[in-house]
Amino acid sequence: MTTVRRRRPGRLLALLLTSTVALTLCAAPPAQAAGATAAAKPGRTGPATPDIVDSTPGGGQALALTFDDGPDPRNTPRLLEVLREHRVKAVFCLWGEHVRQHPDLVRRIARDGHTLCNHTMRHDDMSTWSAADIRADLRATNAAIRDAVPRARIPYFRAPYGAWGQTPQVAADMGMQPLGWRLAVEDWEPPGTGELVRRLEEGAAPGAVVLLHDGGGDRSQTVDAVDQVIPRLQAQGWHFTRPARRG
């Protein structure tokens, strides 16, 4: 004799509800599904592109401060103090060998909430390098940064000397947006703090990414100029933000 097992009403109701929910989710229009994904991952705007970013996302009276060639034990700590005092976040384009020498400074940069950028291992001109050689260098630089700050987010790459060659495509393939600039005050040849302040004030343009340095030499004039110019520009209605994330 075969025994027929009856489903309990409660269990049958639960199965019906589960099936209804599944069908509803499958029938959701693409726009709704995309919206759900965006809500789950705020701020995600797609993969990096080979386009070189040189502006802020919203334009207007906004500037993005970026600092190359650090970290440097003479200049970077004081610069971080200045930025903290004025409540400004910046991008630090890190030289890989300097990262290995001063990992504590990289940790401090990250801890203060600044953005990290790959600026190659030894600041070489890569304009004639093969894609394979570029990729190897960028990987080594990222590894050095992540040795100092495990799982660090490195959203940007900047080519030394602005000599791009094949680097934009390689960087984009590795998830890093190429980062250029629209205002360079040429602080690599220190002209005096007052002159740097003048160049920053007169060169300020809506949405510009600003190229400055905290490493590669004596950058005390740069730090002094940043300390002076931030409140001056803020008084004129400017604010400081990060560069655009996509080209």
Catalytic residues: 68, 213
CB 142 within 8 Å of CB 121: no
How far apart are the C-alpha atoms of 160 and 163, rounded to whole Å? 6
Distance CA 56, CA 241 (A): 7
Query: In sequence order, what are the beta bridge partners of 92?
Result: 67, 116
* Other beta carbons less than 10 A from residue 129's beta carbon: 18
- Closest residue by Cα to residue 156 from 118, 112, 211, 110: 118
Q: Can you read off the two tokens belonging to residue 204?
A: 């300020």
Q: For residue 136, how many other CB atoms are within 10 A of its CB?
A: 14
